[in-house]
Amino acid sequence: MRLRLAPAVLVFPLTLLTWSQTPQQGTAAPAPAQNEAQNDAQSAPKPQEISMGANPASVKHDGGLDDVDAIGNRKIGERGLGNWHSIESEVKLGKQISQMVESTVKLVNDPVVAEYINRLGQNLVRNSDAKFPFSFKVIDDDTINANTFPGGFIYVNSGTILAADNESELAGVIAHEIGHGCARHSMRMYTKAQWASFATIPLIFVGGGIGLAAREVLWSGMPEGLLFSKFSRLDEAQADFLGSQYAWKTGYDPESMVTFFEKVEAQEKKKPGSMAKAFGSHPQTPDRVEATQKGIGSILPARDQYVEDTSEFQGVKARLAALQSKRKMIDDKDANKPSLRRSQTDKKGEGKTDDDRPTLHRRDQ
């Protein structure tokens, strides 16, 4: 793996966001299988010794979102008026949605790619606030996108992996999605939709445009609506904040997440359509970048070194590129096949059975 020196970080007071939540005891994230743990121990990036960084006097140790030493034991994504669903109900809902997703997309089933992306994700999960298992799969799609659904079901487009220059950038994207999952943003969205549904129930009996609009709002409260929903700016900012912490704790440069999003946004301006609309719904505005960088500089002690890249990532990226190239060749070959159309005379004969065929007799000589 390739390491690089960490850039100097400035110390700023954290003014990012505050969240009020109702305390609840969560279950610890399940431990991985022994053989997987051994593999991860060999391949996972190891955090280095801490040198200069955030001012110790400004670092909080109160178990809140700013306390990086308490990651894994913090009260994040708790139940309350903003999310009244239990973890068990979320996981159940997530399984239903994942089945819908996988019935409509094509997954990359190559064992090397699938195993790598899941192991990379699990390394980050073990350094997060996860209270339920997560799963990671790759969708065969050239656009840059990643999605988080209830219950820890995360899907990364192959285009995202190919767009990353190094493992640290890919880890930043996945850590951001894990941040959404740990904060249970999908369920907060689902709860908000249900609140709206309750308020519009009397209106569905009204005719005209009002009744139609009410029915649409009511339908948005259904699980299928989560397939097409997008997170709020507040949710995106919190996922940035949490994701940078999880990437840092796993040994990656937390700035890589910001640089990746800025890079793909610039690419989208040059080549529209390279980034999925949902992925670009909340762009890396200067204010958002500044807020994330302030959070990083305020609470994350700098390390002498960060993991920037690994040979395994470059190997997986090359393998994925080869798989996609092969698929495109097959698709192009199929596109060049002649299109056959049945003639009108053949169509007239459709529907006839063997009983309708003429009876032939040998002509007498």
The percent of residues above 70 in pLDDT, for the chain, comes to: 58
Contact between 83 and 77 under an 8 Å Cβ cutoff? The reply is yes
Instruction: Tell me which of 173 and 59 has the higher pLDDT.
Output: 173
R_g over Cα of the chain: 26
- pLDDT the model gives residue 6: 47
Nearest Cα to Cα of residue 239 among 318, 337, 308, 172: 172
- Asked whether residue 345 is assigned to any structural domain, the reply reads no
- Asked whether residue 236 is assigned to any structural domain, the reply reads yes
- Asked whether residue 339 is assigned to any structural domain, the reply reads no
What digits encode the pLDDT tens for the residues 149-161?
999 999 999 999 9
- Asked whether residue 34 is assigned to any structural domain, the reply reads yes
Give the range of the structural domain holding residue 312, as residue numbers without chain letter: 28-42+63-331
The tokens for 60 are: 């909080």
pTM (whole model) above 0.95: no
- Asked whether residue 302 is assigned to any structural domain, the reply reads yes
The tokens for 82 are: 């903003």
What digits encode the pLDDT tens for the residues 179-213?
999 999 888 887 776 645 544 444 434 444 444 44
Dihedral over Cα of 146, 294, 304, 47: its sign: negative
- Asked whether residue 179 is assigned to any structural domain, the reply reads yes
- Asked whether residue 319 is assigned to any structural domain, the reply reads yes
Instruction: Tell me which of 90 and 352 has the higher pLDDT.
Output: 90
**Cα angle, residue 87 at apex, residues 85 and 93 outer, rounded to 5°:** 75
What digits encode the pLDDT tens for the residues 301-335?
888 899 999 999 999 999 999 998 887 776 655 55
Average pLDDT over residues 140-153: 92
With 0-12 CB in 10 A as exposed, 13-18 as middle and 19+ as buried, what is 331? Answer: exposed
- Asked whether residue 341 is assigned to any structural domain, the reply reads no
Which stretch, 133-137, 252-256, 351-355, has highest mean pLDDT?
Answer: 133-137
The total of structural domains in the chain comes to 1
pLDDT at position 239 over 70: yes
